[in-house]
Structure 1
Amino acid sequence: MRELTEEEALQAVAFMEKLVVGLGSLGRHYSDNDENLAWALLYMFKPKLVNEAAKVRRMLFSKYNTKLAEGGDLDELENLLEGLTYPTSPTPKQLARFRQNRLNKQR
């Protein structure tokens, strides 16, 4: 793996700070109102923010060797991400049940 330049590291840290602080702020402001939280998340995750996340991801991924080691079947990045649990989108039924449970808690 190659090292990040100072500028790249600062860019990644700044993006993570923006994301984590923004999400924390939304959680504090809308902790008791799921509908407003959902709208606030839609407001926050504009294409510009998503594109910035993709840019930081590309920058970080570019630092890994994507050539297979001799005799290997996974490259360095695939080894790192193997077994990573990604958030999944709920089915409509799961979403309805989650929504109803949250509404019941808010009452």
Structure 2
Amino acid sequence: MFGNADPSITMIDNSYIQLLITKGILYTFVLLAVYSLIIGSVKKISFHTAAVIFAFFLLGITEATLQHFELILPMLLAISMDRRLEMQNSQKEGSNVS
């Protein structure tokens, strides 16, 4: 439940399985919940942002990348650009109503 620190079984190419074995169910659940909250914070996701997010999670199946937080940066940048566009659009709509 809390992971296994034995380094002899930590070399697995699938990030999801590696997280479950080495970090445990709680860490994996919390990490995926944080990813879900970050992605869910955007009301409308552009095609490019969806492609970046899909590529990140697809790469997690073939490589051990999910716990590398430096690889989250492109996903966070794309999401922040979408949120900025949402805010600009809502401000334009608010000024058009007045």
User: Which is helix-richer, 1 or 2?
Assistant: 2
Alignment TM-score, normalising by the size of structure 2: 0.35
Alignment TM-score, normalising by the size of structure 1: 0.33
Larger of the two Rg values belongs to structure: 1
